[in-house]
Structure 1
Amino acid sequence: MAVDGPDLPGPAGGVTGPEVLARAIAERLPGRSRAAVVVPAEGFYRPASLRLEHGRTDPDARYTDWLDAGALAREVLDRCGPGGPGEYLPALWDLARDRAARASYQAAPAGGVLLVPGSLLQGLGLAFDVVVHLRVSPAARRRRAPEEREWELPAFDRYDEEVDPTTLADAVVLADHADRPALVLQGRLS
């Protein structure tokens, strides 16, 4: 399951976004007899030399160059999907140290749910069974984005225009106001 959307400050200065939602879902699934694991897409970002080749604040690079979608597919989705060995790599790249994470493969829980939170995940051909999209309008993104991350906003505008993630998702969480999200089911989940 993909949990797609921007990470933005929420109420009382806390961060809201795909990873927060994915972890909340993962906490509730064992009570429904489903084990869950969260594998953030950020662990599959490219090295800084590739990701930041056009500078630290290039919105086009943010949109196209940060995520190594091939590695995420190969090391997580394909391995946990049908015919795969039932294991996943929790991270390929350590962003803080800008070097290989050197993580070991982990066994996926039998009959469990794999949640991959991240930004700009749709439209890449990744084999997600279900996609939940956190929809934050352009106006709300501009209102909530910290000044040091405003350069990213055109990447999300382009994503909305080119991919239209709301129409591709199975469920949409309207998240203009992080303290009052609203769930809209569509597609296979409705």
Structure 2
Amino acid sequence: MSRGESPGRSGALPTVAFAPIGEAELVERLAEFLATFPAAAQDGAAAHAGTATLRVAIDGAGATRPHELAQALIEPLRRRSRPVTHLRDDLFWRDASLRLEYGRHDLQSFAEGWLDHATLRREVLDPLGPGGSGRFLPSLRDPVSNRMTRAATIEAPPGSIVLVSGALLIRPELEFDVRIHLAMSAAALARHTPAEAAWTLPAFASYDEESEPSDRADVVVRLEDPRRPAIRFNASG
């Protein structure tokens, strides 16, 4: 699989079974996969091993806890001698005046207008991709105060892994090298989503149907019961 290519773009995937995995083992397995991914990849990706930054999406609704998984991956990746940075999607939200222009519970705005896709692409994903400068912006805006963070750009060391965690990330305009999707059925997501966030559920149903994240991801972690995850690799791993 070439760098930046998703298995979901090249046609139907063979049916692969989910394998049960313990919570601690899940973190170690994902860290091992990410730490070796550039060297194990085929075609153009092998040429980038040890020099380019691996751009990783950890995608899932809030109930799947994508930020927590990203944080848990930092230490095991560093043990494998990989520099790692974690960026939360809410650090790249648009200004509240734009984000909430049509109200706090507008589904289309939530799905398409909360995350500043253009800035995330321009300031993070493109500079860290092939031919990029290697310098990226670690944050844009504080999601609580809505103030610009005024963060300075930082340089990614050779062989870095940048984890971007959040919701609705597997989409054509966001170019990642590896996509990890945290999946729940609609029923499980409804059970685990707090009442105050239940209004977002139709957006995730539409996302699953239209973007097909479980097919486009390189790795899918099924979390019907978050205490008993199961894993499926759509790419070799």
Output the TM-score relative to the length of structure 1.
0.91
Distance in 2 (CA, whole Å) between partners of 1:184 and 1:26 is: 21
The offset of 1:125, in angstroms, is 2.0
Distance in 2 (CA, whole Å) between partners of 1:122 and 1:115 is: 13
Q: Which has the larger radius of gyration?
A: 2
Check if 1:73 corresponds to 2:128. no
Q: Corresponding residue for 2:108?
A: 60
Q: Corresponding residue for 2:59?
A: 4
Check if 1:110 corresponds to 2:158. yes
The offset of 1:23, in angstroms, is 1.4
The offset of 1:36, in angstroms, is 0.8
Distance in 2 (CA, whole Å) between partners of 1:87 and 1:172 is: 29
Distance in 2 (CA, whole Å) between partners of 1:176 and 1:101 is: 36
Distance in 1 (CA, whole Å) between partners of 2:135 and 2:75 is: 20
Q: Corresponding residue for 1:44?
A: 92
- Unaligned 5+ segments in structure 2 are 1-55
Check if 1:27 corresponds to 2:75. yes
The offset of 1:106, in angstroms, is 1.6
The runs of 4+ residues in structure 1 deviating greater than 2 Å are none
Counterpart contact for 1:69–1:124, Cα < 8 Å: no
| Residue type of the alignment partner of 1:2 | A
The offset of 1:174, in angstroms, is 0.3
- Unaligned 5+ segments in structure 1 are 9-15
Q: Corresponding residue for 1:11?
A: none
Output the TM-score relative to the length of structure 2.
0.74
Counterpart contact for 1:36–1:115, Cα < 8 Å: yes
1:27 alignment partner, SS class: helix
Check if 1:181 corresponds to 2:229. yes
Distance in 2 (CA, whole Å) between partners of 1:161 and 1:177 is: 22
Identity score, percent: 45
Counterpart contact for 1:38–1:114, Cα < 8 Å: yes
Distance in 2 (CA, whole Å) between partners of 1:130 and 1:80 is: 13
Check if 1:100 corresponds to 2:152. no
> How many pairs were matched up?
182
1:103 alignment partner, SS class: coil
| Residue type of the alignment partner of 1:40 | R
The offset of 1:34, in angstroms, is 1.1
2:103 alignment partner, SS class: coil
Distance in 2 (CA, whole Å) between partners of 1:58 and 1:139 is: 22
Q: Once the two structures are superposed, what CA deviation does each residue of 1:33-64 show, in whole Å capped at 9, x if it has no partner?
A: 21111111211111111111111111221111
